[in-house]
Structure 1
Amino acid sequence: MRLDKFVCKSTALTRIQATAMITDGCVVVNSDVVCDVATQVHEDNHISLNGETLTARASRYILLHKPADTICSNIDEAYPSLFNYIDVENAAELHVAGRLDADTTGLVLVTDDGRWSFNIITPTKHCQKVYRVGLSRPISDDVAAKFAHGVQLQGEQQLTRPAILETVTPKEVLLTITEGKFHQVKRMFAAVGNRVVSLHREQIGAIQLDVEVGLWRYLTDSEVNSFINIAESKTS
Protein backbone atom coordinates (compact mmCIF):
# COMPACT_ATOMS: atom_id res chain seq x y z
CA MET A 1 0.00 0.00 0.00
CA ARG A 2 1.03 3.65 -0.26
CA LEU A 3 3.23 4.93 2.53
CA ASP A 4 0.80 7.69 3.52
CA LYS A 5 -2.00 5.13 3.81
CA PHE A 6 0.21 2.84 5.91
CA VAL A 7 1.02 5.68 8.30
CA CYS A 8 -2.69 6.51 8.64
CA LYS A 9 -3.51 2.86 9.22
CA SER A 10 -0.84 2.63 11.91
CA THR A 11 -1.60 5.87 13.78
CA ALA A 12 -4.40 8.32 14.55
CA LEU A 13 -3.04 10.78 11.98
CA THR A 14 -5.20 12.14 9.18
CA ARG A 15 -3.99 11.85 5.59
CA ILE A 16 -2.91 15.52 5.66
CA GLN A 17 -0.99 15.03 8.90
CA ALA A 18 0.64 11.83 7.64
CA THR A 19 1.69 13.58 4.43
CA ALA A 20 3.34 16.38 6.41
CA MET A 21 5.25 13.91 8.59
CA ILE A 22 6.49 11.96 5.56
CA THR A 23 7.59 14.99 3.54
CA ASP A 24 9.36 16.37 6.62
CA GLY A 25 11.53 13.24 6.72
CA CYS A 26 10.04 11.74 9.88
CA VAL A 27 9.39 8.30 8.38
CA VAL A 28 12.02 5.60 7.90
CA VAL A 29 11.44 2.50 5.76
CA ASN A 30 13.98 -0.30 6.16
CA SER A 31 16.65 2.12 7.48
CA ASP A 32 16.05 4.69 4.71
CA VAL A 33 14.30 8.03 5.18
CA VAL A 34 11.47 8.15 2.64
CA CYS A 35 9.79 11.46 1.77
CA ASP A 36 7.59 10.28 -1.11
CA VAL A 37 4.05 9.66 0.18
CA ALA A 38 3.26 7.42 -2.81
CA THR A 39 6.05 4.93 -2.06
CA GLN A 40 4.67 1.40 -2.03
CA VAL A 41 5.30 -0.46 1.24
CA HIS A 42 4.34 -3.80 2.73
CA GLU A 43 3.43 -4.85 6.25
CA ASP A 44 6.65 -6.90 6.32
CA ASN A 45 8.76 -3.74 5.88
CA HIS A 46 10.17 -2.12 9.01
CA ILE A 47 8.59 1.32 9.13
CA SER A 48 9.04 3.87 11.91
CA LEU A 49 7.79 7.37 12.67
CA ASN A 50 10.08 9.58 14.75
CA GLY A 51 11.86 6.43 15.90
CA GLU A 52 8.73 4.49 16.88
CA THR A 53 7.95 1.31 14.94
CA LEU A 54 4.59 1.37 13.18
CA THR A 55 2.24 -1.61 12.98
CA ALA A 56 -0.79 -1.37 10.72
CA ARG A 57 -4.20 -2.13 12.16
CA ALA A 58 -5.77 -5.39 11.00
CA SER A 59 -7.67 -5.06 7.73
CA ARG A 60 -11.46 -5.01 7.83
CA TYR A 61 -13.86 -6.79 5.50
CA ILE A 62 -17.52 -5.78 5.55
CA LEU A 63 -20.70 -6.85 3.78
CA LEU A 64 -23.40 -4.19 3.39
CA HIS A 65 -26.90 -4.24 1.90
CA LYS A 66 -26.85 -0.99 -0.08
CA PRO A 67 -30.13 0.95 -0.14
CA ALA A 68 -31.35 2.77 -3.23
CA ASP A 69 -30.39 6.41 -3.71
CA THR A 70 -27.03 6.11 -1.97
CA ILE A 71 -23.57 6.37 -3.50
CA CYS A 72 -20.40 4.30 -3.09
CA SER A 73 -18.37 7.32 -2.03
CA ASN A 74 -16.78 8.14 1.31
CA ILE A 75 -18.59 11.49 1.42
CA ASP A 76 -22.11 12.71 0.73
CA GLU A 77 -22.61 14.24 -2.70
CA ALA A 78 -25.83 14.50 -4.72
CA TYR A 79 -26.93 11.40 -2.80
CA PRO A 80 -25.88 10.36 0.72
CA SER A 81 -22.88 8.07 1.12
CA LEU A 82 -23.53 4.44 1.99
CA PHE A 83 -20.84 4.86 4.66
CA ASN A 84 -23.50 6.59 6.76
CA TYR A 85 -24.80 3.07 7.42
CA ILE A 86 -21.45 1.69 8.67
CA ASP A 87 -20.61 2.59 12.25
CA VAL A 88 -16.88 1.87 12.57
CA GLU A 89 -13.78 3.86 13.51
CA ASN A 90 -11.56 5.32 10.79
CA ALA A 91 -14.24 4.84 8.15
CA ALA A 92 -12.32 7.16 5.82
CA GLU A 93 -9.76 4.37 5.33
CA LEU A 94 -12.40 2.10 3.80
CA HIS A 95 -13.34 1.77 0.15
CA VAL A 96 -15.93 -0.18 -1.85
CA ALA A 97 -14.73 -3.22 -3.79
CA GLY A 98 -16.88 -2.84 -6.89
CA ARG A 99 -19.14 0.19 -6.89
CA LEU A 100 -22.85 0.29 -7.65
CA ASP A 101 -24.84 3.10 -9.23
CA ALA A 102 -26.94 5.29 -6.94
CA ASP A 103 -30.20 3.59 -8.00
CA THR A 104 -28.77 0.04 -7.76
CA THR A 105 -29.32 -1.91 -4.54
CA GLY A 106 -27.82 -4.99 -2.99
CA LEU A 107 -24.53 -6.53 -1.99
CA VAL A 108 -21.52 -4.28 -1.47
CA LEU A 109 -18.16 -5.34 -0.05
CA VAL A 110 -16.19 -2.73 1.87
CA THR A 111 -12.56 -2.99 2.98
CA ASP A 112 -9.32 -1.15 3.68
CA ASP A 113 -7.27 -3.91 2.02
CA GLY A 114 -6.47 -2.82 -1.53
CA ARG A 115 -4.77 -6.06 -2.53
CA TRP A 116 -7.85 -8.03 -1.47
CA SER A 117 -10.30 -5.81 -3.36
CA PHE A 118 -8.08 -6.09 -6.46
CA ASN A 119 -9.07 -9.76 -6.67
CA ILE A 120 -12.73 -8.74 -6.80
CA ILE A 121 -12.69 -5.88 -9.27
CA THR A 122 -10.04 -7.02 -11.77
CA PRO A 123 -11.65 -8.83 -14.74
CA THR A 124 -8.71 -11.22 -15.17
CA LYS A 125 -9.47 -12.69 -11.73
CA HIS A 126 -12.87 -13.86 -13.07
CA CYS A 127 -14.75 -13.02 -9.87
CA GLN A 128 -18.44 -13.54 -10.62
CA LYS A 129 -21.09 -10.97 -9.68
CA VAL A 130 -24.76 -11.93 -9.87
CA TYR A 131 -27.45 -9.32 -10.53
CA ARG A 132 -31.23 -9.60 -10.44
CA VAL A 133 -32.46 -7.43 -13.29
CA GLY A 134 -35.95 -6.07 -13.91
CA LEU A 135 -36.66 -5.26 -17.56
CA SER A 136 -39.07 -2.96 -19.36
CA ARG A 137 -40.08 -5.66 -21.86
CA PRO A 138 -39.93 -9.47 -22.05
CA ILE A 139 -36.46 -10.90 -22.64
CA SER A 140 -35.86 -12.25 -26.14
CA ASP A 141 -34.96 -15.91 -26.57
CA ASP A 142 -31.64 -15.13 -28.23
CA VAL A 143 -30.21 -12.82 -25.56
CA ALA A 144 -28.63 -15.57 -23.45
CA ALA A 145 -26.57 -16.73 -26.44
CA LYS A 146 -25.57 -13.16 -27.27
CA PHE A 147 -24.40 -12.50 -23.73
CA ALA A 148 -22.51 -15.79 -23.65
CA HIS A 149 -20.64 -14.71 -26.75
CA GLY A 150 -20.20 -11.07 -25.70
CA VAL A 151 -21.96 -7.94 -26.92
CA GLN A 152 -20.70 -4.64 -28.26
CA LEU A 153 -21.32 -1.75 -25.88
CA GLN A 154 -21.59 1.75 -27.25
CA GLY A 155 -18.21 3.46 -27.06
CA GLU A 156 -16.30 0.22 -26.39
CA GLN A 157 -13.89 -1.46 -28.80
CA GLN A 158 -13.98 -4.94 -27.30
CA LEU A 159 -16.94 -7.19 -26.68
CA THR A 160 -18.05 -7.79 -23.12
CA ARG A 161 -16.65 -10.87 -21.45
CA PRO A 162 -18.91 -13.96 -21.63
CA ALA A 163 -21.87 -13.61 -19.26
CA ILE A 164 -24.52 -16.02 -18.00
CA LEU A 165 -28.20 -15.13 -18.33
CA GLU A 166 -30.94 -17.04 -16.48
CA THR A 167 -34.61 -16.22 -17.01
CA VAL A 168 -36.74 -15.96 -13.87
CA THR A 169 -39.83 -14.47 -15.51
CA PRO A 170 -40.22 -12.83 -18.93
CA LYS A 171 -39.28 -9.47 -17.40
CA GLU A 172 -36.90 -10.61 -14.65
CA VAL A 173 -33.53 -12.29 -15.15
CA LEU A 174 -30.34 -13.17 -13.30
CA LEU A 175 -27.15 -11.96 -14.96
CA THR A 176 -23.67 -13.18 -13.97
CA ILE A 177 -20.70 -11.12 -15.13
CA THR A 178 -16.98 -11.03 -14.30
CA GLU A 179 -16.21 -7.42 -15.11
CA GLY A 180 -17.59 -4.03 -14.14
CA LYS A 181 -17.56 -1.49 -16.93
CA PHE A 182 -19.35 1.82 -16.41
CA HIS A 183 -23.12 1.11 -16.21
CA GLN A 184 -22.32 -2.27 -17.75
CA VAL A 185 -25.52 -4.19 -16.98
CA LYS A 186 -27.73 -1.36 -18.20
CA ARG A 187 -25.63 -0.96 -21.34
CA MET A 188 -25.67 -4.70 -22.07
CA PHE A 189 -29.46 -4.80 -22.13
CA ALA A 190 -29.60 -1.58 -24.12
CA ALA A 191 -27.34 -3.28 -26.69
CA VAL A 192 -30.01 -5.97 -27.20
CA GLY A 193 -32.94 -3.55 -27.36
CA ASN A 194 -34.19 -3.71 -23.80
CA ARG A 195 -34.09 -1.38 -20.78
CA VAL A 196 -33.25 -2.05 -17.13
CA VAL A 197 -35.91 -0.77 -14.72
CA SER A 198 -34.49 -2.29 -11.52
CA LEU A 199 -31.06 -3.64 -10.61
CA HIS A 200 -30.02 -5.55 -7.50
CA ARG A 201 -26.71 -7.34 -6.81
CA GLU A 202 -27.26 -10.62 -4.99
CA GLN A 203 -23.87 -12.29 -4.95
CA ILE A 204 -20.14 -11.65 -5.33
CA GLY A 205 -17.98 -14.75 -5.67
CA ALA A 206 -19.34 -17.27 -3.16
CA ILE A 207 -20.81 -14.59 -0.89
CA GLN A 208 -24.57 -14.09 -1.00
CA LEU A 209 -26.47 -11.15 0.45
CA ASP A 210 -27.90 -12.19 3.81
CA VAL A 211 -28.73 -8.99 5.72
CA GLU A 212 -31.64 -6.56 5.49
CA VAL A 213 -31.48 -3.24 3.63
CA GLY A 214 -29.12 -0.78 5.30
CA LEU A 215 -27.54 -3.37 7.60
CA TRP A 216 -23.98 -4.70 7.56
CA ARG A 217 -21.75 -7.36 9.08
CA TYR A 218 -18.10 -8.37 9.07
CA LEU A 219 -17.12 -11.18 6.72
CA THR A 220 -15.98 -14.46 8.20
CA ASP A 221 -12.38 -15.60 7.72
CA SER A 222 -13.52 -18.21 5.21
CA GLU A 223 -15.42 -15.59 3.22
CA VAL A 224 -12.39 -13.31 3.17
CA ASN A 225 -10.12 -16.14 2.09
CA SER A 226 -12.50 -17.24 -0.67
CA PHE A 227 -11.38 -14.30 -2.81
CA ILE A 228 -7.72 -15.03 -2.18
CA ASN A 229 -8.35 -18.62 -3.26
CA ILE A 230 -10.04 -17.37 -6.46
CA ALA A 231 -6.99 -15.30 -7.31
CA GLU A 232 -4.60 -18.19 -6.66
CA SER A 233 -6.65 -20.66 -8.71
CA LYS A 234 -6.59 -18.34 -11.72
CA THR A 235 -2.82 -17.93 -11.59
CA SER A 236 -1.87 -21.56 -10.87
Structure 2
Amino acid sequence: MARKQRTPRWLEAARRRGAEDLQPSGKPDWLARALGKAGVMPRAQAEAAIREGRVTLDGRVEREPFAPVRAGVEVRVDGQMRSLDAPVWALMLHKPAGRVVHGSDAEGVGTVFEWLRERLTPALLGYEWLAVGRLDRDTTGLLLFTNDERLVRHGTSPERHLAKRYVAAVEGTPDEAALRRLREGLVLEDGPTRPAGARLRAPDVVELTLTEGRHHQVKRMLAAVGHPVRTLHREAVGGVTLDIPEGTWRRLEDDEVARGLGFAPG
Protein backbone atom coordinates (compact mmCIF):
# COMPACT_ATOMS: atom_id res chain seq x y z
CA MET A 1 0.00 0.00 0.00
CA ALA A 2 1.30 3.45 -0.93
CA ARG A 3 2.51 5.55 1.97
CA LYS A 4 0.37 8.58 2.63
CA GLN A 5 2.30 11.79 1.98
CA ARG A 6 2.53 14.07 4.99
CA THR A 7 1.21 17.61 4.59
CA PRO A 8 4.03 20.14 5.17
CA ARG A 9 3.63 21.97 8.49
CA TRP A 10 3.80 25.38 6.81
CA LEU A 11 0.87 24.33 4.61
CA GLU A 12 -1.12 23.16 7.63
CA ALA A 13 -0.47 26.55 9.25
CA ALA A 14 -1.51 28.36 6.06
CA ARG A 15 -4.78 26.45 5.89
CA ARG A 16 -5.59 27.41 9.44
CA ARG A 17 -4.90 31.06 8.67
CA GLY A 18 -6.92 31.41 5.47
CA ALA A 19 -6.67 31.23 1.70
CA GLU A 20 -4.58 34.39 1.30
CA ASP A 21 -1.54 32.56 2.68
CA LEU A 22 -1.95 29.73 0.20
CA GLN A 23 -1.21 31.91 -2.80
CA PRO A 24 2.16 33.63 -2.22
CA SER A 25 4.41 34.57 -5.11
CA GLY A 26 6.56 31.52 -5.65
CA LYS A 27 6.86 28.61 -3.23
CA PRO A 28 6.60 29.86 0.36
CA ASP A 29 9.03 29.23 3.15
CA TRP A 30 7.97 28.96 6.75
CA LEU A 31 8.95 31.61 9.24
CA ALA A 32 11.28 29.76 11.63
CA ARG A 33 13.13 28.08 8.79
CA ALA A 34 13.43 31.34 6.86
CA LEU A 35 15.01 33.03 9.89
CA GLY A 36 17.52 30.20 10.23
CA LYS A 37 18.33 30.14 6.52
CA ALA A 38 18.95 33.92 6.50
CA GLY A 39 21.26 33.79 9.52
CA VAL A 40 18.97 35.71 11.88
CA MET A 41 18.97 32.88 14.43
CA PRO A 42 19.04 29.07 14.34
CA ARG A 43 15.69 27.38 13.86
CA ALA A 44 15.18 26.25 17.47
CA GLN A 45 15.86 29.77 18.76
CA ALA A 46 13.62 31.22 16.06
CA GLU A 47 10.72 28.96 17.06
CA ALA A 48 11.08 30.07 20.68
CA ALA A 49 11.26 33.77 19.73
CA ILE A 50 8.15 33.45 17.57
CA ARG A 51 6.12 31.71 20.27
CA GLU A 52 7.22 34.38 22.76
CA GLY A 53 5.71 37.08 20.52
CA ARG A 54 9.05 38.69 19.60
CA VAL A 55 8.57 38.43 15.83
CA THR A 56 6.23 40.53 13.68
CA LEU A 57 5.20 40.21 10.03
CA ASP A 58 4.06 43.48 8.46
CA GLY A 59 3.53 44.91 11.94
CA ARG A 60 1.47 41.98 13.24
CA VAL A 61 2.81 39.71 16.00
CA GLU A 62 3.23 36.21 14.61
CA ARG A 63 3.25 33.29 17.06
CA GLU A 64 3.14 30.44 14.55
CA PRO A 65 6.67 29.17 13.70
CA PHE A 66 5.30 27.45 10.58
CA ALA A 67 3.55 30.53 9.23
CA PRO A 68 4.24 30.83 5.48
CA VAL A 69 6.41 33.82 4.59
CA ARG A 70 5.71 35.68 1.35
CA ALA A 71 8.29 37.63 -0.61
CA GLY A 72 8.42 41.28 0.40
CA VAL A 73 6.98 40.85 3.88
CA GLU A 74 8.48 43.10 6.58
CA VAL A 75 10.00 40.98 9.34
CA ARG A 76 11.06 42.39 12.69
CA VAL A 77 12.64 40.54 15.60
CA ASP A 78 12.57 42.37 18.95
CA GLY A 79 11.54 45.46 17.01
CA GLN A 80 14.54 45.34 14.67
CA MET A 81 13.93 44.88 10.96
CA ARG A 82 15.61 41.75 9.61
CA SER A 83 16.19 40.72 6.02
CA LEU A 84 15.24 37.23 4.91
CA ASP A 85 17.56 37.38 1.91
CA ALA A 86 19.49 34.15 2.17
CA PRO A 87 22.78 33.74 0.32
CA VAL A 88 23.77 30.11 -0.12
CA TRP A 89 26.58 29.16 2.22
CA ALA A 90 28.50 25.90 2.06
CA LEU A 91 31.08 24.74 4.58
CA MET A 92 33.61 21.93 4.55
CA LEU A 93 34.28 20.11 7.83
CA HIS A 94 37.00 17.53 8.36
CA LYS A 95 34.92 15.26 10.57
CA PRO A 96 36.73 13.53 13.42
CA ALA A 97 35.82 10.01 14.49
CA GLY A 98 33.30 9.60 17.29
CA ARG A 99 30.78 12.30 16.35
CA VAL A 100 27.38 11.43 14.88
CA VAL A 101 25.58 13.24 12.08
CA HIS A 102 22.31 13.49 14.00
CA GLY A 103 20.52 16.12 16.06
CA SER A 104 21.46 14.36 19.31
CA ASP A 105 23.75 11.60 20.52
CA ALA A 106 22.35 9.03 22.90
CA GLU A 107 25.88 7.88 23.78
CA GLY A 108 26.86 11.35 24.95
CA VAL A 109 29.92 11.80 22.73
CA GLY A 110 28.32 14.66 20.80
CA THR A 111 27.16 15.55 17.32
CA VAL A 112 28.94 17.11 14.36
CA PHE A 113 26.53 20.04 14.64
CA GLU A 114 27.69 20.76 18.18
CA TRP A 115 31.31 20.35 17.11
CA LEU A 116 30.84 22.77 14.23
CA ARG A 117 28.95 25.42 16.22
CA GLU A 118 31.67 25.45 18.87
CA ARG A 119 34.12 26.53 16.16
CA LEU A 120 32.11 28.87 13.94
CA THR A 121 32.76 32.59 13.74
CA PRO A 122 30.12 34.83 15.37
CA ALA A 123 28.86 35.94 11.95
CA LEU A 124 27.85 32.36 11.11
CA LEU A 125 26.28 31.33 14.40
CA GLY A 126 22.84 32.67 13.43
CA TYR A 127 22.46 30.23 10.56
CA GLU A 128 20.72 26.88 10.69
CA TRP A 129 23.30 24.40 9.39
CA LEU A 130 22.22 21.29 7.51
CA ALA A 131 24.49 18.36 6.70
CA VAL A 132 24.73 17.36 3.04
CA GLY A 133 24.58 13.61 3.54
CA ARG A 134 25.96 11.58 6.43
CA LEU A 135 29.03 9.80 7.67
CA ASP A 136 29.07 7.00 10.24
CA ARG A 137 30.25 7.73 13.77
CA ASP A 138 33.62 6.06 13.20
CA THR A 139 34.15 7.47 9.68
CA THR A 140 36.36 10.53 9.27
CA GLY A 141 36.71 13.01 6.45
CA LEU A 142 34.80 15.39 4.27
CA LEU A 143 31.36 16.46 5.45
CA LEU A 144 29.57 19.38 3.83
CA PHE A 145 27.13 21.77 5.53
CA THR A 146 24.81 24.39 4.08
CA ASN A 147 22.03 26.76 5.09
CA ASP A 148 20.02 25.89 1.96
CA GLU A 149 17.81 22.81 1.61
CA ARG A 150 18.19 22.91 -2.17
CA LEU A 151 21.90 22.16 -1.88
CA VAL A 152 21.12 19.28 0.50
CA ARG A 153 18.70 17.81 -2.02
CA HIS A 154 21.17 18.35 -4.86
CA GLY A 155 24.02 16.70 -2.99
CA THR A 156 22.04 13.67 -1.83
CA SER A 157 19.72 13.04 -4.79
CA PRO A 158 20.16 9.50 -6.17
CA GLU A 159 19.52 10.89 -9.66
CA ARG A 160 22.57 13.18 -9.54
CA HIS A 161 25.14 10.41 -9.13
CA LEU A 162 27.52 12.85 -7.43
CA ALA A 163 30.78 10.97 -6.97
CA LYS A 164 32.10 10.40 -3.44
CA ARG A 165 35.63 9.09 -2.93
CA TYR A 166 36.55 7.01 0.10
CA VAL A 167 39.78 5.47 1.39
CA ALA A 168 39.35 2.29 3.42
CA ALA A 169 41.91 0.33 5.38
CA VAL A 170 40.73 -3.28 5.12
CA GLU A 171 41.50 -6.73 6.40
CA GLY A 172 43.68 -8.71 4.04
CA THR A 173 44.90 -7.72 0.59
CA PRO A 174 42.23 -7.46 -2.12
CA ASP A 175 43.24 -9.14 -5.37
CA GLU A 176 42.31 -8.02 -8.88
CA ALA A 177 39.23 -10.26 -8.89
CA ALA A 178 37.85 -8.50 -5.80
CA LEU A 179 38.55 -5.07 -7.29
CA ARG A 180 36.87 -6.11 -10.52
CA ARG A 181 33.71 -7.13 -8.64
CA LEU A 182 33.64 -3.70 -7.01
CA ARG A 183 34.14 -1.97 -10.36
CA GLU A 184 31.41 -3.95 -12.09
CA GLY A 185 28.92 -3.65 -9.21
CA LEU A 186 27.71 -6.42 -6.97
CA VAL A 187 24.47 -7.48 -5.35
CA LEU A 188 23.81 -6.51 -1.71
CA GLU A 189 20.79 -7.33 0.40
CA ASP A 190 19.07 -4.13 -0.79
CA GLY A 191 19.82 -4.72 -4.46
CA PRO A 192 22.62 -4.33 -7.01
CA THR A 193 25.11 -1.50 -6.65
CA ARG A 194 26.19 0.84 -9.39
CA PRO A 195 29.67 0.26 -10.81
CA ALA A 196 32.34 1.88 -8.64
CA GLY A 197 35.88 3.11 -9.08
CA ALA A 198 38.22 0.81 -7.16
CA ARG A 199 42.00 0.62 -6.85
CA LEU A 200 44.64 -0.23 -4.29
CA ARG A 201 46.69 2.51 -2.69
CA ALA A 202 48.55 0.06 -0.49
CA PRO A 203 48.27 -3.71 0.02
CA ASP A 204 45.49 -3.20 2.57
CA VAL A 205 44.15 0.22 1.51
CA VAL A 206 41.37 0.54 -1.06
CA GLU A 207 40.25 3.72 -2.80
CA LEU A 208 36.56 3.37 -3.64
CA THR A 209 34.53 5.95 -5.57
CA LEU A 210 30.74 5.63 -5.45
CA THR A 211 28.03 7.47 -7.33
CA GLU A 212 25.29 6.48 -4.89
CA GLY A 213 24.92 6.76 -1.14
CA ARG A 214 23.24 3.79 0.48
CA HIS A 215 23.43 2.93 4.19
CA HIS A 216 26.92 1.62 5.14
CA GLN A 217 27.51 0.98 1.45
CA VAL A 218 31.32 1.12 1.43
CA LYS A 219 31.55 -1.22 4.41
CA ARG A 220 29.00 -3.63 2.95
CA MET A 221 30.64 -3.73 -0.48
CA LEU A 222 34.09 -4.43 0.88
CA ALA A 223 32.75 -7.04 3.28
CA ALA A 224 30.97 -8.69 0.34
CA VAL A 225 34.30 -9.21 -1.46
CA GLY A 226 35.92 -10.63 1.68
CA HIS A 227 37.75 -7.57 3.02
CA PRO A 228 35.94 -5.96 5.99
CA VAL A 229 36.73 -2.31 6.70
CA ARG A 230 38.99 -1.43 9.62
CA THR A 231 38.95 2.36 9.14
CA LEU A 232 37.10 4.57 6.66
CA HIS A 233 37.75 8.11 5.45
CA ARG A 234 35.96 10.25 2.85
CA GLU A 235 38.27 12.58 0.96
CA ALA A 236 36.15 14.02 -1.86
CA VAL A 237 32.58 14.82 -2.91
CA GLY A 238 32.15 15.68 -6.58
CA GLY A 239 35.05 17.96 -7.45
CA VAL A 240 35.52 19.17 -3.86
CA THR A 241 38.51 17.57 -2.15
CA LEU A 242 39.23 17.70 1.56
CA ASP A 243 42.18 20.02 2.17
CA ILE A 244 42.04 20.99 5.84
CA PRO A 245 43.25 19.34 9.08
CA GLU A 246 40.97 17.03 11.07
CA GLY A 247 38.52 18.88 13.30
CA THR A 248 38.67 22.14 11.32
CA TRP A 249 36.33 23.76 8.80
CA ARG A 250 36.34 26.35 6.06
CA ARG A 251 33.85 28.03 3.77
CA LEU A 252 33.56 26.83 0.18
CA GLU A 253 33.92 29.56 -2.40
CA ASP A 254 31.02 30.09 -4.81
CA ASP A 255 33.10 28.64 -7.64
CA GLU A 256 33.74 25.46 -5.66
CA VAL A 257 30.01 25.03 -5.11
CA ALA A 258 29.20 25.73 -8.76
CA ARG A 259 31.99 23.70 -10.39
CA GLY A 260 32.84 21.19 -7.71
CA LEU A 261 29.28 20.29 -6.76
CA GLY A 262 27.47 21.37 -9.93
CA PHE A 263 25.05 23.52 -7.96
CA ALA A 264 23.87 26.94 -9.10
CA PRO A 265 21.14 28.50 -6.90
CA GLY A 266 18.41 30.39 -8.62
Contact 1:47/1:54 (CA < 8 Å) preserved in 2? no
Segment drifting more, 101-110 vs 65-74: 65-74
Select 2:130's aligned residue among 78, 95, 98. 95
1:47 and 2:73 are equivalent in the alignment: yes
- Indicate how the Cα distance of structure 1 residues 12 and 216 shifts in structure 2: closer, same or farther if over 3 A, else same: closer
TM-score in terms of structure 1 length: 0.79
Shift of 1:7: 3.2
Structure 1 residue 72 corresponds to structure 2 residue 101: yes
Query: Gaps (5+ residues) in structure 1?
Result: none
**TM-score, normalised by the number of residues in structure 2:** 0.71
Q: What residue is the counterpart of 1:128 in the other structure?
A: 163
CA distance in 2, matches of 1:162, 1:150: 4
1:29-78 per-position Cα deviation (integer Å, ceiling 9, x unaligned): xxxx9x68285x78xx3333479674234332111111111122344542
Q: Is the 8 A contact 1:125 1:231 kept in 2?
A: no
1:168 equivalent to 2:198? Answer no
Question: Which one of the candidate residues 224, 238, 243 is aligned to 1:210?
Answer: 243
Q: Is the 8 A contact 1:65 1:107 kept in 2?
A: yes
2:172 aligns to what?
137
Query: Counterpart in 1 of 2:16?
Result: none
Letter in 2 for 1:37: F
- Once residues 71 and 184 of structure 1 are traced to their aligned partners in structure 2, the CA distance between those partners, rounded to angstroms, is 17
5+ unaligned residues in a row in structure 2: which ranges?
Answer: 1-27
**Correspondence list, 1:183-222, <5 A:** 183-222=216-255
Deviation at 1:164, TM superposition (A): 0.8
Q: Is residue 239–residue 261 contact of structure 2 (8 Å, CA) maintained in 1?
A: no
Structure label with greater radius of gyration: 2
Q: Deviations over 1:170-214 (max 9, x none)?
A: 211100001111111101112222200010111111111111111
- What amino acid is the match of 2:172? R
**CA–CA distance in structure 2, aligned partners of residues 74 and 129 of structure 1:** 23
Alpha-carbon distance between aligned partners in 2 of 1:180 and 1:91, rounded to the nearest angstrom: 30
C-alpha distance in 2, partners of 1:121/1:209?
18
47 and 18 in structure 1: CA distance in 2 versus 1, 3 angstrom threshold = farther
Match of 1:225 in 2: 258
3-state SS of paired residue (1:80): coil
- The match for 2:36 is 8
Residue 46 of structure 1 aligns with an amino acid whose one-letter code is G
Match of 2:151 among 92, 98, 116: 116
Change (3 A) 1:38 1:125: farther
> How well do the aligned residues superpose, as a CA RMSD in angstroms?
3.2
**Aligned residue identity for 2:34:** F
**1:68-109 Cα deviation digits (max 9, x unpaired):** 111223445422222324324436610111211110011111
SS at match of 2:35: helix
8 A contact 2:155–2:261 mirrored in 1: no
Indicate the residue corresponding to 2:10 in structure 1.
none
Is the CA contact 1:62–1:218 (under 8 Å) kept in the aligned structure 2?
A: yes
